[in-house]
C-alpha cells in the first residue's frame, strides 16, 4: 500500500474464542508491582 504500513498481525478478535486459559503472568494495573500492565504482556501460549 502507498499510504499505509500495517506493523502487526493482530490476534485480539481471534482470542475471543481461543483465550482464557489463565496461565499467563499476573499483571498490575497501577504497575506498582509487576511494572507490567496488561498491554505490556504477551500470551504464554
Partner 1 sequence: MKAKIHKFEQNGTYILLDINSGAVHVVDRMIYDLMDTFDGGNEEEVVRIWSGTYAAEDIREALSELHELMEAGELFAPDIDVPPTFRQTGLVKSLCLMVAQDCNLRCKYCFGDGGSYGQKRAVMTPEIGRKAVDYLIKASGPRKHLELDFFGGEPLMNMKTVKAVTEYVRRREKETGKKFKLTMTTNGMLLNDENIQWLNDNDFALVLSLDGRREVHDAMRPDAGGHGSYDRVIQNFHRCVDSRRGGDYDYRGVYTYLRGTYTKKNMDFTKDVLSMNDEGFDILSMEPVVMKDSPLGFTEEDLPRIREEYDRLTEAYMKRHREGKGFFFFHFNMDLSNGPCVAKRLSGCGAGHEYVAVAENGDLYPCHQFVGREGYRIGHVDEGITDHALSQYFRESHVLNKPKCRDCWSRFFCSGGCHANADLFHGDIRQPYEVGCEIQKKRLECAIYVQALLALEKEDA
User: Smallest distance from the beta carbon of 11 to partner 1, in angstroms?
Assistant: 6
* Smallest separation (angstroms) from partner 1 to the CB of 44: 8
Smallest distance from the beta carbon of 29 to partner 1, in angstroms?
4
Q: Are 27 and 34 in contact (CB under 8 A)?
A: yes
Site residues (CB under 8 A) for partner 1, limited to 6-45: 6-13, 15-44
Element (H, E) at 41: none
Instruction: From 9, 31, 21, select the one nearest 43 (Cα to Cα).
Output: 21
Residues that bind partner 1 (CB under 8 A): 1-13, 15-44
Amino acid at each position: 500500500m502507498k499510504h499505509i504500513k500495517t506493523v502487526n498481525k493482530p490476534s485480539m478478535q481471534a482470542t475471543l474464542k481461543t483465550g482464557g486459559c489463565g496461565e499467563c503472568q499476573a499483571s498490575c494495573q497501577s504497575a506498582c508491582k509487576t511494572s507490567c500492565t496488561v498491554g505490556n504482556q504477551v500470551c504464554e501460549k
